[in-house]
Amino acid sequence: MPVRIRPDVAALPVYRAGRPPQAAPGLTPYKLSSNENPYPPLPGVMAAVQAAAGAMNRYPDAGNTAITAALAARLGVDGEQIAFGTGSVAVLYQLLQAVCGPGDEVVHAWRSFEAYPIAIRLPGAVGVGVPLTDRAEHDLEAMAAAVTERTRAVLVCTPNNPTGPVVRHEELVRFCERVPRDVMVVVDEAYVEFVRDPDAARGLDLLADFDNVVVLRTFSKAYGLAGFRVGYSVCEPGLAAAVRAVTLPFGVSSVAQSAVLASLEAEPALLERVDTLVAARTSLLAGLRGLGLDVPDSEGNFVWLPAGARTAEWAAALERAALTVRPFPPTGDDPVALAAAGLRVSVGEDEANARVLEVAARF
């Protein structure tokens, strides 16, 4: 007789990782399916990691002491407010585990980050997905209206993965004023370093006025450490302690901690690379719009092609050109399902971005 698995766990949706690059004759393949940083590690970061690997027989610092101190100084917050995890997605799991139980509700925009529905269902909570506006933005008005006495958390993704637009700061302030203070508001800023819109939400600025706000960030994107799995949250110390209480001990490895320290030291060089990616994003958006495609604004390291019913066809055309992107096929043929379908294309190497435009010209 097989082991009885919790029914809610057996029913969890499976997280689909971005596909690896696919070969095509005569073309360099590019992976544009996971919003990764296309640049290889900086030499200084590589050296720090190699040095740390020499102590792999020892457990890492379970308290993440050095990276907490360095990050607290960098962000101008207290170390007590920071909780690290193995990627910001792990920290999100921890946050929801800390505040939600069976039957509680979590309001979030949809379409948004694929991991949200899974993270919500792990503690037995129920996701309340609020459709994006026709500009692929969060509908904060509708999200505020969706908060009930069963709501324990709200997830705000800015810039929104996979569509790209940010939530504006003033709108987020008004939203937070409407949400009860015992409901957690997670502001997921995984792509914050790529944001150039001066009106965009500034999660950290909300912390002074809203004890229930949690800012979620990662070293996976701008800092290029996706393979090492380090993310963190910043919030009031009591909630941060609860997040740490549900953390797997020794989660962030010693090599990952050394990479974080070296990356914070090398921040100017890393942020220069971010500037280059932002410039590439601007050209890609302009190029796609120049082809007549109705592409929403993006403040992340990716763009959204609202392909609707043609999502699979466009993904196949890109794949024939050795470009792997992230298709979100329609889940039905009604207007809502078609509006939510499309392709997310990460901003990558110059050649990859140019090839995206070449293929898109044939759409």
Q: Which residues bind ligand PLP (CB under 6 A)?
A: 35, 87-89, 113, 157, 161, 188, 190, 218, 220, 226, 231
**What is the closest distance, in whole angstroms, from the C-beta atom of residue 86 to ligand PLP in the complex?**
8
C-beta of 195 vs 226, nearer to ligand PLP: 226
**What is the closest distance, in whole angstroms, from the C-beta atom of residue 294 to ligand PLP in the complex?**
22
C-beta of 157 vs 200, nearer to ligand PLP: 157
Q: What is the number of residues in the chain?
A: 363
**What is the closest distance, in whole angstroms, from the C-beta atom of residue 192 to ligand PLP in the complex?**
10
**What is the closest distance, in whole angstroms, from the C-beta atom of residue 91 to ligand PLP in the complex?**
8
Q: Do the beta carbons of residue 84 and residue 64 sit within 8 Å?
A: yes
**What is the closest distance, in whole angstroms, from the C-beta atom of residue 231 to ligand PLP in the complex?**
4
C-beta of 215 vs 322, nearer to ligand PLP: 215
Amino acid at 355: R
C-beta of 71 vs 338, nearer to ligand PLP: 71
C-beta of 113 vs 304, nearer to ligand PLP: 113
**What is the closest distance, in whole angstroms, from the C-beta atom of residue 310 to ligand PLP in the complex?**
24
Enumerate residues 6+ apart whose C-beta is below 8 A from 11: 121
C-beta of 113 vs 314, nearer to ligand PLP: 113
C-beta of 212 vs 301, nearer to ligand PLP: 301
Closest residue by beta carbon to ligand PLP: 87
**What is the closest distance, in whole angstroms, from the C-beta atom of residue 212 to ligand PLP in the complex?**
19
